[in-house]
């Protein structure tokens, strides 16, 4: 994002609880299956979706709040329902570049899980429903999975200076993947790690 406005005054945006869209947003990113291709274990299913029109899996609206001596970002992600093969739609997931940077995620709508994992392999899954707020400590990679039949949207708040490091998650994924088995979300060991 370029030309982030600097203001030392209080700033508000307006959030719509029915859509998960707030305004004004200063930036909008779309992540399509082509952006996430390496994240899913079923590569044949990925290829099929690429040929079928490369759908949007999630979108993120951002509003950075920058003052003369601070930075803070608001990001609202709308993660659409669906699966790639039997693996539920999910965000890419990332570590923060800076080792001292946490984040707050607030689930507003939908259901699923927040997956978290350290570089040492400590893995957690937080069950998410509307109203769940999770503090993500520094040095925990984080990814959201939508296991419901409706859009899942959540608010993220973090320092812009935290930075996003996608490389480790892109290479290895998380310890477990969330797949549909017998019509239910089920955790299984990540086939890419075996």
Interacting residues with Ni ion (CB under 5 A) = 103
Q: Which of these, 4, 55, 48, 14, lies nearest to 31 by C-alpha position?
A: 55
Q: Which does 91 bind (CB under 5 to 8 A by kind): ligand PA5, Ni ion, none?
A: ligand PA5
CA distance 131 to 124: 19
Q: Which is nearer to Ni ion, 164 or 193 (CB)?
A: 164
Find out whether 140 and 162 touch, Cβ atoms under 8 Å: no
Find out whether 60 and 51 touch, Cβ atoms under 8 Å: no
Q: Which of these, 189, 176, 160, 183, lies nearest to 90 by C-alpha position?
A: 176
For 27, the enclosing helix (H) or strand (E) is strand 27-32
Q: Binding ligand PA5 by CB under 6 A: which of 49, 65, 77, 84? A: 77
Find out whether 158 and 117 touch, Cβ atoms under 8 Å: no
CA distance 116 to 124: 5
- For the window 121-160, what string marks contact with ligand PA5 as x by the rule CB under 6 A? -----------------------------------x-x--
CB of 174: closest distance to Ni ion in angstroms? Answer: 14
Q: Which is nearer to Ni ion, 46 or 153 (CB)?
A: 153
Q: Does 92 bind ligand PA5 (CB under 6 A)?
A: yes
Q: Does 177 bind ligand PA5 (CB under 6 A)?
A: no
**Which single residue brings its beta carbon nearest to Ni ion?**
103
CB of 83: closest distance to ligand PA5 in angstroms? Answer: 18
- From 2-10, 48-56, 90-98, 145-153, span contacting ligand PA5 (CB under 6 A): 90-98
CB of 58: closest distance to ligand PA5 in angstroms? Answer: 7
With a CB cutoff of 8 Å and minimum separation 6, the contacts of 120 are none
Q: Which is nearer to Ni ion, 82 or 137 (CB)?
A: 137
């Amino acid at each position: 994002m370029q030309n982030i406005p600097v203001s030392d005054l209080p700033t508000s945006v307006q959030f719509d609880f029915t859509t998960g869209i707030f305004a004004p947003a200063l930036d909008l990113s779309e992540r399509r299956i082509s952006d996430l291709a390496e994240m899913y274990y079923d590569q044949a299913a990925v290829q099929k979706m690429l040929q079928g029109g490369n759908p949007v899996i999630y979108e993120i609206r951002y509003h950075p709040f920058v003052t003369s001596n601070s930075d803070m970002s608001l990001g609202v992600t709308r993660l659409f329902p669906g699966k790639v093969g039997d693996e539920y739609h999910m965000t890419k997931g990332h570590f923060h570049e800076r080792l001292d940077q946490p984040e707050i995620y607030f689930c507003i709508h939908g259901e699923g899980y927040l997956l978290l994992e350290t570089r040492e392999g400590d893995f957690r899954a937080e069950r998410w429903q509307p109203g769940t707020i999770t503090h993500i400590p520094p040095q925990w990679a984080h990814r959201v999975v939508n296991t419901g039949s409706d859009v899942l949207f959540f608010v993220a708040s973090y320092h812009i200076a935290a930075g996003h490091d996608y490389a480790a998650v892109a290479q290895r994924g998380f310890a477990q993947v969330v797949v549909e088995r017998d019509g239910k979300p089920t955790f299984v060991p990540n086939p890419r790690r075996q």
